[in-house]
Chains A and B, each alone.
Chain A
Amino acid sequence: GESVGLHLPTLSVQEGDNSIINCAYSNSASDYFIWYKQESGKGPQFIIDIRSNMDKRQGQRVTVLLNKTVKHLSLQIAATQPGDSAVYFCAENRPGATNKLIFGTGTLLAVQP
């Protein structure tokens, strides 16, 4: 069925360490992927995106890697800070007339001081 799933529901890291959040997607036709961050009581906030013709994209302290062979997506956060504590969702865009975003179940990132 349609699904985008995450390997780890909870990730605990020390402040200053690098974090890696993983995501598996099921539809090989998906052409666009986004990582969102959701803090408690707030709506999801865009972090970084990547199109299927790329395998890596870097932002400020964040890097997204896309492996289309195994349908895997990861978000790397460098020098994790307490403010990074949140739930992170990956989303895939199913192309076609609807272009709707399908979200994964989320990973809770807990940054320990």
Chain B
Amino acid sequence: DSGVTQTPKHLITATGQRVTLRCSPRSGDLSVYWYQQSLDQGLQFLIQYYNGEERAKGNILERFSAQQFPDLHSELNLSSLELGDSALYFCASSDRGGTEAFFGQGTRLTVV
């Protein structure tokens, strides 16, 4: 158990809908990262937050957004969903940059 909790584990929704994925980082970790993993693909960095502030953006679509709350949990919002958004979405946390990141078990999103 990495200590990073993601909910829900599975999500099935229709095209055009909006979903929210939730991540609770390890206790004490200030950095939260979101990654997207499509079938048989690597991990694509989406966005990073550090202590409530956005730190870095990767290949994140404008339809996607995220935030980190004062209690350090984070949410990834995906809107106007398309079939191609179906993927595993991972959250990871670390205490600071330049160290290993611990991953949650992921949320499997299926858009039908």
Query: Contact residues of A with B, CB < 8 Å?
Result: 31-32, 34, 36, 42-46, 49, 89, 93, 95, 97-106
Contacts and interface: CB of A to CB of B under 8 A. Distances in A.
Contacts of B102: 46
B43 interface: yes
A103 to B, nearest CB: 4
Interface residues of B, number: 27
A100 B48 contact: yes
Nearest to B97: A99
B90 to A, nearest CB: 6
Interface of B: 2, 4, 31, 33, 35, 41-45, 48, 55-56, 58, 90, 92, 96-106
B90 A44 contact: yes
A93 B31 CA distance: 14
